[in-house]
Amino acid sequence: MSVTNQPLARQVAEPWLMIIDMQRIFGEPSSEWATPGYAAAAAGIQRLLDAFDSRVCFTRFLPPDPPTGVWTTYYEKWPFALDPVNAPLYELSEDFLSIPTTTVDRTTFGKWDAETDRLLGHPQELVLAGVTTDCCVLSTALPACDAGVHVTVVADACAGVTGQDHQRALEAMELYSPMIDVADVDSVLTSLAK
């Protein structure tokens, strides 16, 4: 587990924007994990960034070294993901490289855990965006709400493996309301402006 961060003040009332796995491996069309809708999700995220000031956290999904347990089977299905020649694909997409933020690296789909909670100053509210809605976004939202954090998933700043998978994941998360809410970029920006 690797975490890099800037010094943080404790943020209690104001939400954090947690941007899930906006990495080259999901954004580049030639990647085996290319996510349709990635560019639209990135555009939605760009619209959100300024509203959160320094309360922005990027996450990165990284392969374990070596994989253990069921992860061994997972990477047997996706051997390209362990090939050292593809290591640069795990970097954030170029649009996000120069943004000074907190970064959380995990070898798991979910990015919310006690260390992330501590790093972000124990927030009461999280706004989630990124990829993929049906995997890493969903896997981050559920443990965060279990930990007592209210989560808003920004539908038009996320993308799924397919459009149908994206929609099904949003519908599944809506079942957790009022602990998890699904919104769009405009409504999130409006709520922050109040």
- 14-67 pLDDT, tens per residue? 899 999 999 999 999 999 999 999 999 999 999 999 999 899 999 999 999 999
Confirm whether 2 is domain-assigned. Answer: no
- 143-155 pLDDT, tens per residue? 999 999 999 999 9
| Dist. CA 187–CA 172, nearest whole Å | 20
CA distance readout (Å), 188 to 49, 151, 163, 168: 11, 12, 22, 21
pLDDT of residue 100: 80
What CATH number did the domain enclosing 87 receive? 3.40.50.850
| Domains of the chain: total | 1
Whether 21 and 60 have beta carbons less than 8 Å apart is answered as yes
Confirm whether 1 is domain-assigned. Answer: no
The pTM of the full predicted model, rounded to 2 decimals, is 0.91
DSSP class of residue 92 equals: B
Write out the residue range of the structural domain in which residue 41 sits: 13-193
Contacts of 118 (CB under 8 A, 6+ apart): none
Confirm whether 4 is domain-assigned. Answer: no
